[in-house]
Structure 1
């Protein structure tokens, strides 16, 4: 069995940017090689700098909160990863206004709300606390979204502008003087100065967002309306006109234009020393209210017709470009290189041709770069790779062969990923170093996308297994390479057949086969990652099949959070009335003290709302995994738990993040007056916590 061949890999943004580019670009988000693009012209700053957005925010239940000068409106939109059904969106509901009134319905407790004079910033932290900045009052108010209580108001040393949440910490920018404020719902704020290097005189900070690593990014506005993007340790980036900023799922900073301008959301990828532009987004109809990153990773914005999601922006690509990789080193003089394997997407109307050159010499020459070279996504851009003389680089004429599968044993691209696998032989004489020239062509509206390039250090040895009379030097070697591609890959799969019985690595189509080893029939309604985790734990779960612990873990693997299973016999004698948690939320039924009403029955409390498909999947688990002589009730919680009749602490109550509570330590915390237990997030049973008579649950 042949040993795996060593390879050189070019796959990251840094590696692609260290190549030589002419008419090609590096898309910073996926780290792929593409043709250079041209964005629509930046309309420039708006005179008078009157384009500042007030902001949007999203809570844990996928509800968008839109801030105006005197009110906050809320709209439930749901997860957005698969798109959004705009026809089902309702009308935004005002939850904070100038003259507050008790909110309708049982979901909220009437509490006084702060009157907003000139609101300028909004953010929601990980515990669903709403932060509002008001420059008219020069304070930041903190509200609990569940109880609608004003938890605290913080007077700021300057004029508060934009807000951005990162976990439980909220970042706020201040004017007069310019400063950055960091605060939480329970701790005192800390103030730090903002860097102003490279900014025009009299510039003022306006908006703020936070990178995944916790770094604050501040949007500044100069007196003439020009906007600047500033982050610690990076050069200031001039933007033209801008009204708001946020960070998308890829870590790029998305910049919104002023209202009434070209609805293009520009994206800037942070580097160690500055910024690079990547493909923009289209936000048709953007009204200047602000932008927000939704739970599904999409960027949302507001229009005159309501909430919308940004789509991939239309750009114009150059029709051809060339990229020459830096030298790939095999470590052996006179080395015969093997195959080139590319992970690429070639839409109709596009193509990629390759050429290779090898040498044992360590060239240190430079080819002239095109002024249209893109900014790369790492500080390595601008360093010229060691290239052979221009005369040694042949024109890229070699075609790519599309494979039916991947060369890596058992690897498959993710579902919906348009990437294909292509390969081609290295048609060059032996040499220690290898350079690959890629010539990309497109039609102006589409571009090839090369995600990764692998070059095998060793060629096949099939010719040496034939009689020497058949060795003609070149043709037979290239001809047998077609058969070696299949034979070598099958050989490597056979060597790594242990992957097939690994739940975390086996191909998705092999999951039902692997599940049949234990007699398990997988439910296709489960997401792939949940099915893999279930397979990894199924033997241990079957050892205690039918128990409360097994059912709980089974459902937790599917739901992503732990349900509560209440056996009705535990309620016997605890209450003389039917136990009810909340409005219309019943645990059990009938008389709890009657043996026939509690024996062999249990209730499953799921602390989250369920769709019809999710509920059907949960019931399927309960029907197949519970003891045959038992029966059950299924209940869901989607708005926190409130005190009803005979709510049993330790059985059906959860402690969730809300209000001004610090983290509760079970067995070492006392719940006193004014403390709130509730929230929709999963929590822990309060079996050992002490409740005072003045404490509220809900």
Structure 2
């Protein structure tokens, strides 16, 4: 049975050529979704809430504070809420609970709640009389304002015991109170006054001027200033904000809010304002704005929202985020998003099968459908394009109407080649609905989607490599019932809510429909009605066989490491005796599989080791054999440089000690340090003490002749990696070198991630390019070539006649580079 062909529609370039109505295009994922509205339905912008309604909301406002854990508690802390309609509450697992807060102590002590008998009001079951504000001062204490009793309580944060009671000044009636780095600040709405008090001082009235603005909220920071929100009584006037420090007051105008109600100074230079918006026929909506706030500016930073905010309190949590209270919990403020339109549609350009009277087969749509959302798909087929006189231009997606002239010309040219089918957006002529689409797992119809393949346009199967693209995705499948035609148009309707939208990322349409009916004898085609029913019945099995044939046709891709699915890499590696370390990524695995046969042939060679490590590190690697760094000058017996004499008893010829195995410098230092340690331990024993650790110490070097011979005469090399050091990658490279290097060799790995540092990190000819060539070439300094038997290294001693570069010298006698 013949495998059908496919037409794909995905990517920003192709989606932009379609016709959009109330839809927007999300560019990072190239997905179509419902557009966001400019404002919430029913909310009248530019008009303020009536004063009576506003002050009713203000009187329901309370205060919240997060209490951090204390040394005698085993919990991270808890949240307190001053609810004017209830009492001082704390947040438990099952919602807001009245005091006391259970006190968690160590397991060997009894659990006992905190006592509040001294705080309760006589004749009342409440501990506090309409608590409306709660704030912390720099000394770790809590200040609580009771609006009913007009009383200020000072509480200890660790156990909420009462430390002191303060009263407002005579004639004042406080509605809100806050603590700052310098003192207390309170607002008196009824008398239109603002009061301040330094810690240990007296109440002072703050002059608000004569502009008629009422103080309705205050907020302070323990390490910063205090702020006061002023509401204008005149609808034409602007609201205000005061910034109060110990010796200065700064005033600002609020130009972008109509009814600010909530105020929180989350940081010394960042505050949040909450605005209540009255919506017709729906609950009050609260929107929040964050501002950069200092002595010279009040600048809007971002917009925020919180689902289910009950207007009782805002506070800063341990994660430095701002949290808002809800009916039975708290939720963080999240970036604000405007409400979406609830319906929209996209009409595609003409998909061309390049075959007259083509029978289109199935449509596959990669989409995400949250609960309460749906897609409606209609199709239209024709052998002819609409006449140019009746063609209409496609409407761009919401938010992408401003195109460059080049883009406009490209889109217009694409519309002329493959125009829309409908004459008007509401045109229904020739459109057939596909009805209910079958839900399948994401891209279940795709046998082996290409991975990492660059197409002439964007990836025909949708964007890949983006976190969260395939999460909650599914593929919708539908059979196209339309009569044959060369061109096909699709109209996809999106239905959602103000907060949820369906998402469409890509679609595929198969054409030249294969049919099992074609394999039946001609007798079955004699009756057209019977043939149609038989064809439809066999279509139930045709879909399964078609997908099986597609997988068989594309089986060769499983053996290609460049395009095989990621989950098949382990399986493919088993055929080549290769198992992957979990610490290496997918691109490295694919490259290893692509070059593994060549690496096997080069195993144990310098070229093979360099290429293997270059693949693992995804960078440049060089192998430096130690014998290439040996001195070129012979050893001298007698006077050296006219002033030094050789001592025959300790004469070293080419680094060897006369009469024995060579002794490396590090071995000599290790043996010397070990002998000194043994000497100190003997002295401790002679004095009657006990050395640590007790017992005999093992020898620092293995004295086995074979091991000692191998340690001294093994071939040595250094692996220089020009990449930043990473612990996991270093472990992988170490294991790979141990398994891939020749036997009876010793190696060391040097990571060069600091760049070019002459005299310290410069390997001329290995990691430094001094020309435009991509291969090794010696650098020429004057007439002396660098890179053959001369190296640029740290000088040991200055000798007359040597060429010196800063702390290094260019010499024929000293060629040992610095250790990595």
State the TM-score, normalizing by the size of structure 1. Answer: 0.51
1:654 pairs with one of 729, 751, 767? 767
Shift of 1:477: 4.0
Structure 2 CA distance for aligned equivalents of residues 643 and 375 of structure 1: 52
Q: Cα 1:573–1:669, aligned 2, differ >3 Å: closer, same or farther?
A: closer
1:612 pairs with one of 713, 727, 734? 727
Structure 2 CA distance for aligned equivalents of residues 484 and 312 of structure 1: 49
Shift of 1:491: 0.8
Structure 2 CA distance for aligned equivalents of residues 588 and 498 of structure 1: 58
- Higher mean alpha-carbon deviation, 370-379 vs 486-495, is at 370-379
CA contact (8 A) 2:626 2:717 kept: yes
The answer for the alignment partner of 1:391 in structure 2 is: 428
Shift of 1:412: 6.4
2:628 pairs with one of 541, 550, 570? 570
Shift of 1:534: 1.0
- Higher mean alpha-carbon deviation, 490-499 vs 635-644, is at 635-644
Shift of 1:643: 5.8
Structure 1 CA distance for aligned equivalents of residues 400 and 15 of structure 2: 12
Whether 1:627 and 2:759 are equivalent positions in the alignment is no
The answer for the alignment partner of 1:9 in structure 2 is: 8
Shift of 1:514: 2.1
The answer for the alignment partner of 2:510 in structure 1 is: 456
Count of matched residue pairs = 420
CA contact (8 A) 1:667 1:688 kept: no
Shift of 1:39: 6.7
Shift of 1:370: 7.5
SS in 2 for 1:503: coil
The answer for the alignment partner of 1:409 in structure 2 is: 447
Shift of 1:21: 1.6
Q: Cα 1:412–1:498, aligned 2, differ >3 Å: closer, same or farther?
A: closer
Whether 1:429 and 2:483 are equivalent positions in the alignment is yes
1:532 pairs with one of 585, 590, 596? 590
Structure 2 CA distance for aligned equivalents of residues 513 and 371 of structure 1: 46
Q: Cα 1:9–1:633, aligned 2, differ >3 Å: closer, same or farther?
A: same
The answer for the alignment partner of 1:342 in structure 2 is: 365
SS in 1 for 2:498: coil
SS in 1 for 2:505: strand
Structure 2 CA distance for aligned equivalents of residues 637 and 504 of structure 1: 30
Deviations 1:616-669 (CA, angstroms, capped at 9, x unpaired): 211221222123433332332332364669x89558x63279xxx999996575
The answer for unaligned runs of 5 or more in structure 2 is 41-268, 274-287, 302-319, 322-333, 452-463, 634-651, 656-663, 670-708, 793-802, 809-817
Shift of 1:506: 1.7
CA contact (8 A) 1:669 1:689 kept: no
CA contact (8 A) 1:343 1:450 kept: yes
The answer for unaligned runs of 5 or more in structure 1 is 42-258, 264-281, 292-304, 579-586, 673-684
SS in 2 for 1:37: coil
- Higher mean alpha-carbon deviation, 663-672 vs 380-389, is at 663-672
Deviations 1:497-552 (CA, angstroms, capped at 9, x unpaired): 22222121222222222222222222232211111111111111111212222111
Shift of 1:688: 9.4
Q: Cα 1:25–1:459, aligned 2, differ >3 Å: closer, same or farther?
A: same
CA contact (8 A) 2:394 2:420 kept: no
Structure 2 CA distance for aligned equivalents of residues 502 and 665 of structure 1: 30
CA contact (8 A) 1:671 1:695 kept: no
Deviations 1:268-325 (CA, angstroms, capped at 9, x unpaired): xxxxxxxxxxxxxx99888999x9xxxxxxxxxxxxx99xxxx998454322111111
The answer for the alignment partner of 1:109 in structure 2 is: none
The answer for the alignment partner of 2:804 in structure 1 is: 693
Q: Cα 1:405–1:671, aligned 2, differ >3 Å: closer, same or farther?
A: same
Shift of 1:340: 0.8
CA contact (8 A) 1:655 1:686 kept: no
SS in 2 for 1:563: strand
2:352 pairs with one of 323, 329, 343? 329
CA contact (8 A) 1:328 1:435 kept: yes
Structure 2 CA distance for aligned equivalents of residues 435 and 671 of structure 1: 70
Kindly name which structure, 1 or 2, has the bigger radius of gyration based on alpha carbons: 2
Q: Cα 1:689–1:327, aligned 2, differ >3 Å: closer, same or farther?
A: farther
CA contact (8 A) 2:345 2:492 kept: yes
The answer for the alignment partner of 1:187 in structure 2 is: none
The answer for the alignment partner of 1:36 in structure 2 is: 35
Structure 1 CA distance for aligned equivalents of residues 576 and 807 of structure 2: 48
The answer for the alignment partner of 1:255 in structure 2 is: none
CA contact (8 A) 2:438 2:476 kept: yes
Shift of 1:354: 0.9
Deviations 1:118-176 (CA, angstroms, capped at 9, x unpaired): xxxxxxxxxxxxxxxxxxxxxxxxxxxxxxxxxxxxxxxxxxxxxxxxxxxxxxxxxxx
The answer for the alignment partner of 1:356 in structure 2 is: 379
Q: Cα 1:564–1:21, aligned 2, differ >3 Å: closer, same or farther?
A: same
